[in-house]
Amino acid sequence: MGQLNTPVTHLKLGTRRSLLAWAQSSWVARELERLHAARGLKVELVGIDTRGDKILDIPLSKVEGKEFFVAELDDALRSGRVDFSVHSLKDLSLERPAEFELVCMPRREDQRDVIVFSPKALERLGAGEPLTVGSSSPRRLENLPPFLSRALPTLNGRAPQVKFAEIRGNVNTRLGRLHEAPGAERYLDGVVLALAGLSRLWRDDKGRAELEKLFKGCRWMVMPLRQNPTAPGQGSLAVECRAPKNPHDAEVKELLLALHDEPTRLQVERERAVLAKWGGGCHQRFGASCVPVPELGELLYIRGRLPDGSFIDEAKGPERGAAPAGRAWNGSDWRGEGLEWIFEGKESSLVGKGCVFIAHARAVPPSWVPLLSGKRIWTSGAASWFKLAKMGLWVEGCAENLGFDNLVPMLQKPVLGLAPLSGWTALTHEAGLGGWEAVKAVATYRVSGEKREEAAAALRKAGSAYWGSASQFERYGAALAPEQLKAMKHACGPGKTAAALRAKGLEPQVFLSSEDWKKWTAN
């Protein structure tokens, strides 16, 4: 890059004026100053009002045109009023003016949607009142209703009812509506927001002070990406500057590159390729989320309604070779047909005062439901979430069948206000107590009624096996001769099962679920 005789030490950053936009742009400014402290770089924020900030009474999906939050920032960059601008990447269209360059994507925040519920929401559910949730996103309105109908708790024998209301405005304005009086025109039982935005606000002193007031008494739900993938690029920031035509702009670009995160760019490119294929923008009714998983590589979830009216629901994992020939043994077909409770009644004191991770819905003895109703509960996957909701329990989120360890970064997000891991209790089955070093594990049940001899006989005739759990592998792996066990092709889900097989010197193929494995072996 060409250098000026006098290095650039002062930059002007164009940003929207909203609390969130200001917080995330302030973070970019401080990071750039930190990275270039040796040259004494200072970054000044320049607030700019955009069309999207002014149109608050109409959902953007019903407004003609595009670049609602971008055009005025572009004008400022084009005219030289600012040196660069910061956008939420999902606000940018796929076709950008050639005079600008998207030079930098900082490391992405978690892209999930969350719903923050009013302090009165649970009481209203118990009374059989329908909950009104605020969102104007066609994508969210497509995917959220069927999920919430099963994810919200069933109370007093009443199935949850949810309706949606169109809502615009800044984050603090939306959250403020949760604290209106029920029945008031502006009252909402819940608002759908991006977790990334809330996390960035929480990092900002002014933003955190505002959120602490607005979160008071509220309940959370973090939407799983499999059922609710987000807008392509959600959680990512886009830093744009002028395409260099002079030494000054070339040096600005070089300074900004220090913030770039290449894995983020690659993930966002996969998501935006879906958008390019089917179109959308503010009108899209489908989500696309790319998620890196240590044991699986990158997963791409796509779900929603396409422009031609068809529905898509895909989870794309890594490319795999041909499935092994011969018989395949599916451990999911040989799970226990019953269970036996280990702890009841007074033993419920084993659950501490912190948060609870429920490894399977079966791990909740019926007598423990009243005890758990006051806890902050997370679980293993959507299937257990729905079963726990049927019991009347409020579940905040799940590990999406990727294992507890994969969930830990989420549980440690300060904005969620959850207990440290030392304050968590995991409820599991008797044979699943191993591998819970970070949290206290309690076995509440043991599996009974398994057709063990029949299962073992079927396994001896198989050339490949999918293991449903580490304890299942310990039971049935012993039925095989060591040489057969080594020769067999093994598969399992991510997490503790994969770790247990590797500890035995095996190299399992990891799948998102037994259903994905079955599809693979059927081809």
| 39 neighbors 255 (Cβ within 8 angstroms) | no
Q: Report the distance separating Cα 204 and Cα 117, nearest Å.
A: 23
Are 514 and 493 in contact by the 8 Å Cβ rule? The answer is yes
What is the secondary structure of 212-238 as a DSSP string? HHHTTT-EEEEPPTTTS---TTTT-EE
Q: Are the C-beta atoms of residues 307 and 279 closer than 8 Å to each other?
A: yes
- The active-site residue, picked from 90, 226, 489, 496, is 90
Catalytic site residue 516? no
Options 104, 282, 355, 398, the catalytic residue:
282
Q: Which helix (H) or strand (E) holds 78?
A: helix 71-79
Where in 118-244 does DSSP place strands (E)? 131-134, 162-165, 190-194, 219-222, 237-242
Q: Is 30 a catalytic residue?
A: no
34 is catalytic: no
The verdict on whether 253 is a catalytic residue reads no
462: left (phi over 0), alpha (psi -120 to 50) or beta: beta
**Of residues 168, 219, 305, 446, which has the active-site annotation?**
168
- To the query of whether residue 241 is one of the catalytic residues in this protein, the response is no
Question: What values do phi and psi take at 47, rounded to 5?
Answer: -80, 135
Q: 120, 124, 174, 177: which one is catalytic?
A: 174
Q: Is 91 a catalytic residue?
A: yes
Provide the 8-state DSSP code for 245: S
CA distance 117 to 419: 20
The single residue of 108, 139, 226, 475 carrying the catalytic annotation is 139
CB-CB contact of 138 with 283 (8 Å):
yes
Query: 312 has which bridge partners?
Result: 304
The helix or strand, by DSSP H or E, that contains position 405, with its residue range, turns out to be: helix 404-411
Catalytic residue among 108, 124, 140, 200: 140
Closest CA to 275 of 66, 107, 448: 66
Cα 230 to Cα 75, 278, 381: the distances in Å are 29, 15, 18
Residue type, 96: R
**CA distance linking residue 192 with residue 165, whole number of Å:** 11
Residue among 91, 113, 189, 249 flagged as catalytic: 91
* Residue 107: active-site member: no
Instruction: Give the residue numbers annotated as catalytic, written as ranges.
Output: 90-91, 139-140, 168, 174, 282
